[in-house]
């Protein structure tokens, strides 16, 4: 899938995108921000230095400093340090977003993302829609933008929450390597926080031979992958790469089982776990979303019963509509007509599949979490799928 076919061109503020062609590293890019931009946005930065253990492999560290201005000052001093200088080309800007939350222009959700339209908006713009019942959780609040030059990137790691990621790569070329669930902890024990900057070590080459996927991500590509397994990313082009990531948990029971293992040391490496309070907050958001799904299912069931009661002999065709607030934003999508046709040709089967996944998803979360079991028993429709433990 391509960014331009989804109508996502122009979704990032121009004051950010127009700087991309002027610099070849994230430090100089961020340092070019106006004082107002340094107050408007916030971000994290990573950089690499040689391992204190082996002296050969390069490990990634987080910058110090408060706010964009403080982090840039940290690099100002580090780059000038004669004994242990920070190399500019290794600096990687991560999770760039607005410093303060604001109502999203399409959904009205409180967000900090710099992207004005995302995959979530596209998926939810079609009516009638199965999209809202095909995911358990979608992180809009802290969605972030990543920028880096050649040989910068994200070290070997696993996301703090075992969810899925959608990457929208606007500019630059990247290599993405991923390892299976079974191999992830072993790989992280050996190469945790190492960056795969050439020349590669013999250990890194051996690890790459065990990777389940090595992917070349091109400018304009949209990719879907699991953040809940060991993975690493490195930019390989002379131009800056710019990628926005959305994180979500689908209704697929395998994805839910994996997500529920977040912070389980047998599955997720303990060096990368999310604080319990943040995981609890995500579970609350999941429950809120399932309450909305329950409301939709109940409404549809009642409408279906009313339709049967007053049905005529002729069938009423589906009417294609877009929500008004999204209509202008997606009107120019090149492939929209094909997507819409595909949507309605397969709408019935998509809904059937969604309902099966909802049933399995509710059974899964209520089997593994008493909290969900207690709360979802109060729902009108989803209560039918709540797991009942044997006594």
pLDDT digits (tens, 9 = 90+) for 24-52: 999 999 999 999 999 999 999 999 998 76
Lowest-confidence range among 141-150, 211-220, 340-349?
Answer: 340-349
Whose CA is closest to 177, among 222, 201, 209? 209
Give the C-alpha separation, 43 to 97, whole Å: 6
Q: How many domains does the chain have?
A: 1
Residue 126 has pLDDT above 80, yes or no: no
Lowest mean pLDDT among 162-166, 271-275, 318-322: 318-322
pLDDT value at position 352? 73
Instruction: State the CATH number of the domain containing residue 241.
Output: 2.60.120.10
Beta bridge partners of 249: 137
Please check whether residue 366 lies inside any domain of the structure: no
The per-residue DSSP string of 251-312 comes to: S-HHHHHHHHTTT-TTTS-GGGPPPHHHHHHHHHHHHHHHHHHHHHHHHHHHHHHHHHHT--
Looking from the CA of 363 toward its CB, the CA atoms found within 13 Å total: 11
The pLDDT of residue 85 is above 80: yes
Beta bridge partners of 322: 126
Q: Which helix (H) or strand (E) holds 124?
A: none
CA–CA gap between residue 300 and residue 130 (Å, rounded): 12
The SS3 assignment for 207 reads: helix
Q: Which pLDDT does position 205 carry in this prediction?
A: 98
Position 328 scores a pLDDT of: 47
User: Is 35 inside a domain boundary?
Assistant: yes
Identify the band that residue 56 occupies on the pLDDT scale cut at 50, 70 and 90: confident
Range of the domain at 177: 4-126+138-250
| CA–CA distance, 245 with 237 (Å, rounded to integer) | 19
Say if 157 falls within a structural domain: yes
Residue 383 lies in a domain: no
In this structure, the number of other CB atoms found within 10 A of the CB of residue 96 comes to 24
Look at residue 369 and tell me if it is in a domain: no
**DSSP bridge pairs for 46:** 62, 92
> Rounded to 5 degrees, what angle do the CA atoms 128, 129, 132 make?
150
pLDDT for 299: 86
The answer to whether residue 263 is domain-embedded is no
The token duo for 115 is 């992207």
Q: What is the pLDDT of residue 339?
A: 46
Residue 266 in domain: no
Give yes or no for residue 186 having a pLDDT over 80. yes
Provide the whole-model pTM. 0.87
User: Is 173 a domain residue?
Assistant: yes
Average pLDDT over residues 75-94: 96
């Amino acid at each position: 899938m391509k960014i331009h076919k989804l109508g996502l061109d122009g979704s990032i503020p121009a004051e950010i995108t127009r700087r991309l062609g002027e610099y070849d590293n994230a430090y100089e890019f961020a340092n070019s921000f106006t004082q107002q931009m340094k107050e408007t946005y916030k971000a994290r930065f990573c950089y690499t230095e040689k391992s204190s253990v082996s002296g050969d492999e390069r490990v990634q560290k987080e910058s110090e400093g408060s706010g964009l201005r403080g982090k840039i000052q940290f690099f100002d001093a580090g780059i000038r340090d004669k004994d242990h200088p920070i190399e500019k080309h290794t600096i990687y800007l991560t999770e760039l977003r607005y410093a303060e939350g604001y109502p999203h222009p399409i959904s009205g959700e409180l967000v900090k993302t710099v992207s004005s339209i995302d995959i979530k908006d596209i998926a939810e713009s079609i009516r009638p829609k199965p999209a809202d019942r095909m995911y358990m959780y979608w992180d809009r609040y802290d969605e972030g933008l990543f920028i880096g030059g050649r040989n910068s990137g994200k070290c070997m790691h696993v996301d703090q929450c075992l969810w899925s990621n959608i990457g929208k790569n606007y500019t630059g070329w990247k290599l993405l390597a991923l390892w299976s669930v079974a191999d992830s902890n072993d790989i992280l024990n050996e190469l945790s926080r190492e960056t795969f900057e050439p020349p590669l070590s013999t250990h890194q080459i051996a690890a790459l031979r065990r990777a389940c996927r090595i992917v070349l991500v091109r400018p304009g590509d949209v990719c879907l992958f699991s953040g809940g397994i060991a993975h690493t990313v490195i930019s390989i082009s002379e131009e800056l790469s710019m990628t926005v990531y959305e994180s979500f948990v689908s209704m697929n029971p395998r994805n839910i089982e994996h997500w529920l293992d977040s912070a389980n040391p047998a599955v997720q490496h303990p060096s990368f776990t999310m604080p319990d309070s943040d995981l609890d907050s995500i579970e609350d958001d999941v429950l809120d979303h399932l309450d909305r799904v329950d409301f939709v299912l109940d409404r549809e069931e009642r409408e279906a019963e009313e339709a049967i009661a007053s049905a005529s002999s002729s069938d009423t065709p589906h009417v294609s509509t877009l929500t008004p607030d999204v209509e202008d934003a997606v009107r120019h999508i090149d492939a929209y007509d094909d997507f819409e046709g595909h949507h309605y040709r397969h709408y019935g089967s998509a809904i059937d599949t969604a309902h099966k996944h909802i049933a399995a998803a509710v059974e899964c979360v209520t089997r593994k979490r008493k909290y969900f079991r207690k709360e979802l028993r109060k729902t009108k429709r989803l209560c039918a799928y709540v797991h009942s433990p044997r006594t």
